[in-house]
Structures are given as C-alpha cells and as structure tokens.
C-alpha cells in the first residue's frame, strides 16, 4: 500500500525539528528548538479575538481591512505603493502564503534558488510542486553572499529565487548590496522572487530590514510573504499574507481559496487590532528581543561556543561548537538534552548538498555539522533556567567539557 503514496510524498521526510521536540518532551527539556514564544501573546490582541468570536465573526470571511492596513504599513516602512484591493492575498499563515506562491508559479522542472542554510519547509514545498530546489551556500562565518556563487547557479530553467530575511537559522539581515546582487540576478534572468519576511519587525542594533521589493526592478516580480505569528507572538493563529503584483496575488488568492478557502475568521478580525498597534509596540518588541539575544549570546560565548556572527534579526542564534569539541552537532544536541535538559536544533538539517558545491572537498563542507540553532524567543525565567542547567555540562573552569 506504500505504493499508493505520491512520488512527492515519498521524497519528503519528517521534520528533524519536530523529532527533537519529542525527545525533549520525554526528558522534560527546556525547548530552545522550536521558534515560538513561551510567554503570553499581547493582551490587546487576544481581547480582540475574544471579542470577534463573541460578535459572531465566525463564518468564512475575507477581511479587506487587513489588506488596507498592510498597504499603509508597507508604504510607511518601505515606501512601496500597493493596491489593497488587488495586490494582497490573506492566507493561513506565511506557510500557506508561501505554498500558494510556489504552486502559483512553479511548474515541474522549474528551478528555484534557495540560500543555504535554509528553513526546511521551502524545499519540501518546491518539491511538492514539481520544482527543483537549487541551494546557493552563504559563506560562513558571516554568512555573506558571494555574487559569483549566485551567478553560477542561474540557468535558463531558473524560475524564482527565495529570500528569507531576516534569516532563519543564522539571524542574518541581508544588506542592501546583497539585495542589489539578488535583484540584478532576478532581472537579468527575468525570474521571480518570493520572500519570507516573517521576522521583519525583529531586527537589532541599528540594522534595518530592507524589503527586496524596494530595489529597482523588483516590485513587479516579487511576492512578499509574512504573517502575524512572530511579530505578535501568536504562531498558533494562522493568519498570514502574500503581497505582489495583481496577477500573482490573484493567482495566489485563487489557490488559497481551493486549498483552505479562508484564514480563521476571528483571528482575521483580531489582525486589524494587531496591525494598528502603535509604534511603541514595535519598539518594545525589538528591545525585549534584543535583551534576550544579548543574554543568550553572552551565556553561550561565555561557556565556549564560537559566536562569530551575532544575530542582526530573527529570534535565532546560530552558534558554532567550540574548536576542541569533537562531537557533531547532532551528538552535541543529544548530550545537551540528556545531560542538561535543554534542546536546540543541530544545524546540519538546514544545510543541503548543492550543485554549486560540486568539486569542493569534503573538508570545506565540514562546517555544516558544527552549528547549533538556539531559539531565544523565551521568557527571561526560561533563559535564566537554561543558564543554570548548562552548568551540568561545564568543567571546573566553566567551559564545555
């Protein structure tokens, strides 16, 4: 009966992130693996959802107000002009917005460029649509984009480039120069760009998130996907969107209607309240997360992790194992769970064998097993508890054994 599975389903495998969560739960470990908060969502937004349920906003709906607010925000923050009536599709989370964008544009055999390390879901989705994921590696330790690597990966089959910035798992925020490089590639190949900007409001120090669509030549060929989840700590509500030129947004909307028909109605209503949050909300979001980032960087660097790249955005820290640690990332995380009761994600799941690395020796790819991703979207109590538990792994000098 296994023969009854589609080819696409047979290719896809379980999420390594989810398996570790299982082991973590069995060991009662503190979960720094999955990227969702353990602190409550903002009360004003929860109240809006409760009020929506009570006011009978419970049937299928499309809340145009979301599109209106998004178009205002996108204009204020990025200077982009979009038409709220035609250029926005509301979806069940950024996940569905991305899936719909892929299904709207990718035919079997189309190549889609991804930057490695990359969030696991993109590849699976592209594969399901019959597309071919092509991974272009970012160069450690700063995760810089080498333009020649990008150019080498372009072919006449390249249909789209996927850009996730701020970036999961590294916390990198792509620079203007890197965005211009990507834009040049898109325009010269006449291909599309699909962006995942879910961490758009979580950037640190003076780093600004720049939307790829703002680079000249890009708005007409870019689909922006994002959601409420990370900005408003409501990852379980499933309200996201795709913004793009009308013909793309319309195609995405049509797919969304066939795949899920409607995003949850009361949460769409609550989104109106969320998107109207005052500037102070976003400032506090940033500063709160920045203090968590600083705490975890200091903690892990203090016990011997190599942190050559401090996250510029997102809720993740991609830390490198100390030189003298002979374990692989997976072995280390197992140890972390069993001896310290803390779980994180081994970085190798985010790296992929890619065509660009053909001919490169095994040695230069060994870095792919040296990184661990820690999520720091947790309460201060949780992070403090992590600090305590890490003690179990330290030697007399306070470094990792």
Partner 1 sequence: MQVHCTCTHPPMRFAPSSSFPKFIGFSKHFHTLIAPSSPKLSPFVLAATMSTDTLPTQNHTTATTTQRPLQVAKRLEKFKTTIFTQMSSLAIKHGAINLGQGFPNFDGPDFVKEAAIQAIRDGKNQYARGYGIPDLNLAIAERFKKDSGLVVDPEKEVTVTCGCTEAIAATILGLINPGDEVIVFAPFYDSYEATLSMAGANIKCITLRPPEFAVPIEELKSAMSKNTRAIMINTPHNPTGKMFTREELDSIASLCIENDVLVFSDEVYDKLAFDMEHISPASLPGMFERTVTMNSLGKTFSLTGWKIGWAIAPPHLTWGVRQAHSFLTFANSTPMQWATAEALRAPESYYVELKRDYMEKRAILVEGLESVGFKVFPSRGTYFVVVDHTPFGLENDVAFCEYLIKEVGVVAIPVSAFCLDPEDGKNLVRFTFCKDEGTLKAAVKRMKEKLRK
- Helices 120-128 and 93-105 pack at an angle, to 10 degrees, of 40
Give the interface size with partner 1 as a residue count (CB under 8 A). Answer: 113
- What is the rounded distance in angstroms from the CA atom of residue 216 to the CA atom of residue 235? 33
- Give how far Cα 39 sits from Cα of 35, 75, 226, 233, Å: 12, 31, 21, 8
Does position 152 interact with partner 1 (CB under 8 A)? The reply is: no
Does position 24 interact with partner 1 (CB under 8 A)? The reply is: yes
**CB neighbour class for 367 (10 Å; exposed up to 12, middle 13-18, buried from 19):** middle
- Helices 279-302 and 380-390 pack at an angle, to 10 degrees, of 0
Using CB under 8 A as the binding rule, the residues of this chain from 356 to 385 that contact partner 1 are: 381-382, 385
Q: How far apart are the first and last CA of the chain?
A: 48
Does position 192 interact with partner 1 (CB under 8 A)? The reply is: yes
Q: Which stretch binds partner 1 (CB under 8 A): 55-63, 280-288, 302-310, 317-325?
A: 55-63
- The single residue among 72, 144, 175, 254 that binds partner 1, judged by CB under 8 A, is 254
Quote the least distance from Cβ 382 to partner 1, whole Å.
6
Does position 177 interact with partner 1 (CB under 8 A)? The reply is: no
Q: Please list the alpha-helical segments (H only) found in 190-278.
A: 246-259, 265-275
Q: Is 135 or 293 the residue whose CB approaches partner 1 more closely?
A: 135
Q: Is 96 or 309 the residue whose CB approaches partner 1 more closely?
A: 96
- Give how far Cα 155 sits from Cα of 137, 158, 160, 226, Å: 17, 5, 11, 28
Does position 274 interact with partner 1 (CB under 8 A)? The reply is: no
**Strands 345-346, 88-91: pairing kind:** unpaired
CB-based contacts of 183, cutoff 8 Å, min separation 6: 212, 215, 216, 217, 218
Does position 353 interact with partner 1 (CB under 8 A)? The reply is: yes
Q: Which stretch binds partner 1 (CB under 8 A): 107-115, 161-169, 274-282, 308-316?
A: 107-115
- The single residue among 117, 118, 120, 209 that binds partner 1, judged by CB under 8 A, is 120
Does position 13 interact with partner 1 (CB under 8 A)? The reply is: yes
Are the beta carbons of 251 and 87 closer than 8 angstroms? no
Quote the least distance from Cβ 203 to partner 1, whole Å.
22
Quote the least distance from Cβ 301 to partner 1, whole Å.
25
Does position 206 interact with partner 1 (CB under 8 A)? The reply is: no
- The single residue among 153, 158, 170, 211 that binds partner 1, judged by CB under 8 A, is 158
Quote the least distance from Cβ 257 to partner 1, whole Å.
7
Does position 230 interact with partner 1 (CB under 8 A)? The reply is: no
For the chain, helix (H) and strand (E) counts, in that order, are 13, 12
Does position 1 interact with partner 1 (CB under 8 A)? The reply is: yes
**CB neighbour class for 236 (10 Å; exposed up to 12, middle 13-18, buried from 19):** exposed
């Amino acid at each position: 009966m296994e023969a009854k599975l589609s080819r696409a389903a047979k290719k896809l495998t379980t999420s390594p992130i989810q398996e570790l969560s299982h082991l973590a739960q069995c060991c009662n470990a503190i979960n720094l693996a999955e990227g969702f908060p353990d602190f409550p969502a903002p009360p004003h937004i929860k109240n809006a959802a409760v009020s929506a349920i009570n006011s009978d906003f419970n049937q299928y709906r499309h809340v145009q107000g979301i599109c209106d607010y998004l178009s205002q925000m996108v204009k204020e923050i990025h200077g982009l002009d979009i038409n709220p009536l035609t250029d926005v599709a509301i979806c069940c989370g950024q996940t569905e917005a991305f899936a719909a964008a892929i299904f709207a544009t990718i035919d079997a055999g189309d190549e889609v460029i991804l930057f490695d390390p990359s969030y696991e879901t993109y590849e699976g989705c592209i594969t399901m649509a019959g597309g071919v994921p092509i991974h272009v590696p970012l160069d450690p330790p700063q995760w810089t984009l080498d333009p020649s690597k990008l150019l080498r990966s372009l072919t006449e089959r390249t249909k789209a480039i996927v850009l996730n910035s701020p970036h999961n798992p590294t916390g990198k925020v792509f620079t203007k120069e890197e965005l211009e490089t990507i834009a040049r590639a898109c325009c010269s190949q006449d291909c599309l760009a699909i962006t995942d900007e879910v961490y758009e409001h979580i950037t640190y120090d003076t780093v600004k998130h720049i939307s790829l669509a703002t680079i000249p030549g890009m708005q007409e060929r870019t689909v922006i996907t994002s959601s409420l989840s990370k900005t408003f700590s409501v990852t379980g509500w499933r309200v996201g969107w795709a913004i793009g030129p009308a013909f793309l947004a319309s195609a995405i909307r049509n797919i969304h209607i066939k795949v899920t028909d409607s995003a949850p109605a009361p949460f769409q209503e609550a989104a109106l309240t969320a998107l109207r949050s005052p500037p102070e909300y976003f400032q506090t979001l940033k500063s709160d997360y920045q203090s968590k980032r600083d705490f975890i960087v200091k903690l892990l660097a203090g016990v011997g992790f190599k942190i050559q790249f401090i996250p510029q955005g997102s809720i993740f820290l991609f830390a490198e194992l100390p030189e003298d640690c002979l374990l692989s990332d997976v072995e280390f995380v197992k140890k972390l769970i069993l001896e310290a009761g803390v779980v994180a994600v081994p970085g190798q799941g985010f790296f992929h064998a890619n065509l660009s690395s053909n001919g490169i020796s095994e040695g230069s790819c060994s870095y792919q097993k040296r990184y661990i991703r820690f999520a720091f979207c947790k309460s201060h109590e949780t992070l403090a508890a992590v600090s305590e538990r890490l003690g179990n792994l330290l030697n007399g000098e306070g470094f990792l054994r």
